[in-house]
Amino acid sequence: MHDNLSELQNLPSCKTEAFEIILSLLEHAGVTIVHNVSIAGARGYEALPKEAKDIILHTNMKIAINTYLASLATNPNNIRDLQDLIDFRKTCPGEEYSQRNVSMGPSREHERKA
C-alpha cells in the first residue's frame, strides 16, 4: 500500500481496495503510475493543520483547472477558467442549476430545508 500518505493509512479497507482497483484500471488504460516518489516538501505539508492543507489543495486545484481549460484546443462553450465554468453551470438549462444549486455546500444543507 502507499505508506507515505497519511490520509490513506487510516482509510477503511473498502476504500483502499477501491483505490487499488482504480490504479489498476488506470494502468490498464495506459496511464503510467509512478510508485515510491519522493516529493520535496511532502513532510512539511503533512505537518500542516487540516485548514492549511485545504487552502493549498483548493488553490492548487483552481490553478490546475484554469490551466487545463485555457489549454483546450477544442472548447465549444469557450470555458477558459473556473469562473467561466461556474457561469456556464449557472446558465446552461441542462445543468438544472436552480434545482441543484452547488453554491451551497453540504455545510449549509440545513438552510435549504428551512
**64 and 33 share one domain:** no
How long, in residues, is the chain? 114
| CA–CA separation, 57 and 80 (whole Å) | 20
Residues 1 and 37 in one domain: yes
Same domain, 108 and 54: yes
Q: In a 10 Å sphere around its CB, with 0-12 CB exposed, 13-18 middle and 19+ buried, how is residue 49 labelled? A: exposed
Greater confidence (41 vs 11) lies with 41
Q: Are residues 17 and 67 in the same domain?
A: no
Look up the pTM and report it.
0.48
pLDDT digits (tens, 9 = 90+) for 45-92: 889 999 999 999 889 999 999 999 999 999 999 999 999 988 888 888
- Count the domains in the chain: 2
In this structure, the answer to whether residues 74 and 96 fall within a common structural domain is yes
62/90 same-domain check:
yes
Whether 38 and 78 map to the same domain: the answer is no
What cell numbers appear for 103 in the block? 453554491
| Domain that includes residue 2, residue range | 1-47
8 shares its domain with 35: yes
What pLDDT digit, counting tens, does each position of 98-110 carry? Answer: 776 655 544 444 4
Residues 32, 62: one domain?
no
Residue 52's identity, in one-letter code, is A
pLDDT on residue 109: 44
Looking at the structure, do residues 3 and 22 belong to the same domain, yes or no?
yes
Q: Do 103 and 63 lie in a common domain?
A: yes
CA-closest candidate to residue 83, choices 106, 66, 98: 66
Our CA angle for 19, 22, 26, nearest 5°, is 140
Residues 23 and 76 in one domain: no
